[in-house]
């Protein structure tokens, strides 16, 4: 395992706290003292007592120090390279039809191919970044584009949203895309299979067998094969340990004086959408669906892919990680060994390096992560949504069109099983409206997952074993104990990031690589925030975490 160390700033801010405080005193403070204090005139009435202020810095010195910390953070951010952002080239290769790029919400023809003039207006707006140009884009229905200008926002903390990069998205004419598509078809077919039944489900065994034959399937395997124990799981060692679902999506959440059960309102089984061509085409044009979700009247714990999809249909994006933080604080999980108060006897952490600090920090990174991935979505990749690709597969297989789709998906057992169940080759969706009206790559949920989980892995002792693991009962009304290998904080945090990301995949609206690349994007944002914040604290400290690729980082 390799290790990296980040000092939290340029060379000046790597100094000890005492050296730093000394540096900003003396002549530098004196130079601004008069301006800082300002003129003082006669005071009428009773004498005004001097403030009984104590501390290592005078007000004038503090003013200089505060400015120095901000400059050092800006210098650190400025020192991060801004690499060339590279897409997969499909937009140019298939420029006449744009069949490989996101176009949902724009006018489409009967084959679900975007109107060329409308797409060009869309590109013009992206190039100009002008609010009014986006208002001039012709739409095909009543659903607006989701906030493209967020991708041009600047940040005042952490990496600039245009600094991190993700690799080019898989192309529709390559085997990796075929493998990812087949996984999504199987996820749709298996939405109602309970996670605890995967080992005994004939459908899951069939899916694992089919995915194993793909030449470029990049999900976890055992003995070079996808198995019921590895299917639909994330990429880390923690993802493969124990039950499919993270403990952080099951345990009660201590929220002040409240104990919140994680039984949720879910939807009835067997309800899938956009399996008919007319419905599919209307949704691609941005027309709102004519029906909504049908809800189960009884709240239940998450049991299967459909329940997990509904969780991520309406969640607050940092919800699962705030909950995880509350659970960890509630059970007294130990902080990272570099927390300065671990060995203190006469003081403890609170506003810094205590509960309030981590609770705010784990949510603070979410919006920064979102703005970074919105840039990737709209301004770099514009990857088409899986539902749109399902339409390409359908039209190809019924002979309505000819597309440069890699052949492996066209001969997959997954599309045959879908046709047998639904009558079309379209990818069944769990949400009536299908995907949101923004491109697929990267994934907002997965990027936020990567950022928030990185903060938690840095803050808590990731090796701590969670006590008393549980799984949902078959009806989802209770939690039952389970015998399993040790479940560590770090492993279950990696798992909850994958669970939330794959909930979107179970719904049919994201690809596997949307998860695998986006969690690393969020991770980069979170590490950058921690680097820049390091110089702001009076306490000497360090934070250590294992990244999603298995490497060790100390900040």
- CA dihedral (192, 198, 201, 204) positive or negative: positive
Alpha carbon distance 178, 169 (integer Å): 13
* Paired sense of beta strands 479-481 and 544-546, if any: unpaired
H or E stretch including 455? Answer: helix 444-459
Residues facing residue 554 across a β-bridge: 5, 544
Helix, strand, coil abundance in the chain, percent, nearest 5: 45, 5, 50
Closest C-alpha to 174, from 212, 215, 211: 215
- From the candidates 162, 381, 394, 445, give the one annotated as an active-site residue: 445
The helix/strand/coil state of 194 is strand
- Quick check: helix, strand or coil at residue 68? helix
Active site residue 381: no
| Annotated catalytic residue, options 108, 381, 394, 438 | 438
Indicate if the alpha-carbon torsion angle 432, 437, 442, 444 is positive or negative.
negative
Residue pair 489/241 in contact by the 8 Å Cβ criterion:
no
- Within 8 A by CB and 6+ apart from 156, the residues are none
The alpha helices in 226-352, defined as continuous H runs, are 277-284, 305-314, 319-330
Q: Clarify whether 438 is annotated catalytic.
A: yes
Catalytic residues: 438, 445
């Amino acid at each position: 395992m390799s290790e990296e160390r980040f000092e939290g700033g340029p060379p000046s801010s790597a100094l000890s706290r005492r050296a730093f405080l000394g540096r900003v005193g003396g002549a530098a403070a004196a130079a601004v003292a008069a301006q800082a204090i300002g003129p003082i005139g006669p005071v009428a009435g009773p004498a005004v007592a001097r403030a009984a202020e104590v501390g290592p810095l005078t007000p004038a010195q503090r003013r200089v120090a505060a400015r120095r910390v901000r400059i050092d953070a800006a210098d650190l951010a400025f020192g991060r390279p801004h690499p060339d952002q590279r897409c997969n080239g499909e937009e140019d290769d298939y420029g006449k039809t744009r069949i490989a790029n996101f176009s949902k919400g724009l006018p489409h023809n009967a084959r679900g191919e975007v109107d060329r003039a409308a797409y060009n207006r869309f590109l013009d707006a992206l190039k100009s970044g002008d609010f009014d140009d986006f208002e001039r884009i012709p739409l095909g229905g009543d659903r607006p584009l989701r906030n493209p200008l967020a991708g041009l926002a600047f940040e005042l903390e952490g990496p600039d949203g245009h600094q991190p990069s993700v690799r080019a998205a898989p192309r529709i004419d390559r085997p990796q895309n075929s493998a990812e598509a087949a996984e999504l078809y199987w996820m749709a077919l298996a939405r109602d299979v309970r996670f605890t039944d995967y080992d005994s489900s004939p459908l899951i065994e069939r899916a694992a067998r089919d995915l194993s034959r793909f030449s470029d399937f990049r999900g976890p395997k055992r003995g070079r094969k996808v198995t019921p124990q590895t299917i639909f799981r994330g990429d880390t060692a923690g993802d493969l340990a124990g039950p499919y679902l993270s403990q952080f999506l099951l345990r009660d959440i201590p929220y002040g004086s409240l104990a919140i059960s994680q039984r949720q309102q879910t939807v009835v089984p067997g309800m899938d959408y956009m399996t008919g061509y007319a419905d599919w085409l209307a949704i691609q044009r941005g027309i709102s669906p004519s029906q909504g979700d049908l809800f189960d009247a009884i709240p239940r714990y998450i049991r299967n892919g459909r329940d997990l999809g509904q969780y991520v249909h309406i969640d607050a994006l940092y919800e699962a990680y705030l909950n995880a933080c509350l659970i960890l604080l509630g059970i007294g999980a130990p902080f990272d060994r570099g927390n300065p108060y671990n060995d203190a006897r006469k003081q403890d952490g609170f506003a810094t390096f205590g509960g309030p600090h981590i609770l705010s920090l784990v949510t603070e990174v979410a919006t920064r992560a979102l703005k970074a991935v919105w840039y990737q979505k709209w301004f770099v990749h514009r990857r088409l949504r899986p539902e749109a690709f399902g339409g390409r597969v359908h039209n190809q297989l019924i002979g309505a069109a000819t597309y440069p789709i890699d052949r492996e998906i066209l001969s997959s057992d997954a599309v045959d099983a879908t046709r047998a169940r639904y009558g079309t080759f379209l990818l069944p969706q769990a949400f009536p409206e299908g995907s949101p009206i923004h491109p697929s790559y990267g994934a907002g949920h997965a990027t936020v997952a990567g950022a928030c989980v990185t903060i938690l892995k840095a803050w808590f002792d990731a090796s701590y074993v969670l006590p008393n693991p549980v799984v949902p009962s078959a009806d989802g009304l209770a939690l039952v104990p389970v015998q399993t290998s040790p479940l560590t904080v770090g492993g279950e945090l990696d798992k909850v990031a994958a669970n939330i990301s794959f909930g979107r995949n179970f719904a049919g609206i994201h690809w596997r690589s949307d998860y695998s690349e986006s969690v690393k994007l969020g991770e980069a944002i979170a590490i950058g925030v921690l680097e820049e914040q390091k110089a702001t604290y009076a306490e000497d400290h360090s934070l250590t975490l294992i990244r999603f690729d298995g490497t060790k980082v100390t900040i």
